[in-house]
């Protein structure tokens, strides 16, 4: 039995804050997912939200695919913008209106920083706002 808390949830992905959590929170999260997926003998997962489930490696793969999709959507949105865009602007293209706000912006920031560290985005800062250009 594995008590996953908010780390691995059965139907949603946890919030990944890009603020104050290291240089590449998305990479750290994916590495931690890989570590728990490799645990042997796990037959049941007890999440903090939702029902218990039994396929930990499968759910980890689904979450990783979800984040790859988010990264691709950011790349496409950046190409559509054709200019540097704020984290807020980009988050509003990544999340539905009902999810807009600080949590969406922090998650978007984590994804943008991941892309920047991969050399796939450039960041500039104007005042207190970060802008990203994705090519």
**Residues 32-64: pLDDT tens digits?**
999 999 999 999 999 999 999 999 999 999 999
Residues 90-120 have pLDDT tens digits of 999 999 999 999 999 999 999 999 999 999 9
Q: Please give the pLDDT value at position 97.
A: 96
DSSP per-residue string spanning 56-93: HHHHHHHHHHHHHHHHHHHHHHHHHH-S-EEHHHHHHH
Q: What percent of the chain has pLDDT over 70?
A: 100
The stretch 59-72 carries a mean pLDDT of 97
How much is the pLDDT for 12?
Answer: 92
Q: Which of 80, 129, 127 is nearest to 108 (CA)?
A: 129
Enter the tokens of residue 135: 């090519």
Tell me how far apart the alpha carbons of residues 2 and 41 are, in angstroms, rounded to a whole number.
9
Query: What band does 135 get if pLDDT is binned at 50, 70 and 90?
Result: confident
Q: Is the pLDDT of residue 25 over 80?
A: yes
With a CB cutoff of 8 Å and minimum separation 6, the contacts of 109 are: 18, 19, 87, 130
Question: Tell me, what's the pLDDT at 18?
Answer: 73
User: Which H or E run contains 31?
Assistant: helix 25-37
At 35 the pLDDT is 98
Over the chain, what is the mean pLDDT?
Answer: 94
What are the CA-CA distances from residue 19 to residues 7, 102, 109, 111, 118 (Å)?
18, 11, 8, 11, 18
State both tokens at 39: 């645990």
């Amino acid at each position: 039995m594995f008590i996953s808390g908010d780390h691995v949830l059965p139907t949603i992905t946890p919030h990944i804050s890009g603020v104050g959590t290291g240089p590449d929170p998305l990479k750290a999260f994916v590495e931690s997912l890989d570590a728990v997926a490799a645990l042997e003998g796990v037959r049941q997962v007890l999440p903090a939200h939702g029902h218990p489930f039994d396929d930990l490696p499968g759910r980890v793969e689904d979450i990783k695919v979800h984040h790859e999709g988010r990264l691709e959507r950011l790349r496409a949105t950046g190409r559509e913008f054709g200019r540097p865009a704020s984290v807020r602007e980009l988050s509003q293209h990544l999340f539905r209106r009902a999810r807009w706000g600080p949590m969406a912006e922090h998650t978007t920031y984590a994804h943008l920083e991941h892309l920047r560290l991969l050399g796939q985005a450039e960041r500039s800062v104007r005042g207190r706002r970060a802008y990203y250009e994705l090519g």
